[in-house]
Amino acid sequence: MSGEGIIRFIGIVDEAGEVSVIKIFPKYLKGLRGITDFSHLIIIYWFDRRDTTSYRETLVVMPRMHRAKEMVGVFASRSPSRPNPLGLCVVELVKVESDKLYVKELDALEGTPIVDVKPYIPNADALLDARIPEWASQD
């Protein structure tokens, strides 16, 4: 195993805002079949603006979204600076029109490549007894 793989982008963030628009490329449109049966989706995207050697070599970060008081390993954070610049976000699906997904709460920027779309399934994706450090529970 070489340690490397191939990522194929399936779409792009066409518009970012209160309601964001994700445009799915024509080749992948059949993959949206049944998507409207779900209220929420998991969007996996590429932090393209952090895809540099320097950012990919970052292994220790100070989490900014929370009030962390010490550095943590990148795998203990949601930092966009990481060996593989993948982002993940749970969004509410507002509507689907042709090749466009209209979603709320997307934290990706306009032009961000989309890696994958998965349905959010509460009994598989929400673990109420999950343990997190105190700094991560602060808003």
- Assign domain 8-47+86-122 one CATH number from 3.40.630.10, 1.20.950.20, 2.60.40.10, 2.40.30.70: 2.40.30.70
Indicate whether 66 pLDDT > 90: no
Indicate whether 77 pLDDT > 90: no
Q: What is the dihedral of CA 64, 94, 85, 132, to 10 degrees?
A: 50
Burial of 66 (0-12, 13-18, 19+ CB in 10 A): middle
Going by pLDDT thresholds of 50, 70 and 90, the confidence category of residue 53 is very high
Token pair belonging to 69: 């008081």
What span, in angstroms and rounded, lies between the C-alpha atoms of 96 and 36? 7
pTM for this entry: 0.90
What span, in angstroms and rounded, lies between the C-alpha atoms of 60 and 73? 4
Amino acid, res. 52: T
pLDDT in tens, 113-138: 999 999 999 989 988 888 988 877 76
High-pLDDT (> 70) share of the chain, % = 94
pLDDT in tens, 90-113: 999 999 999 999 999 999 999 999
CB 93, CB 103: distance < 8 Å? yes
Average pLDDT over residues 30-55: 96
Spans of all domains in the chain: 8-47+86-122, 55-84
Total count of residues recorded for the chain: 139
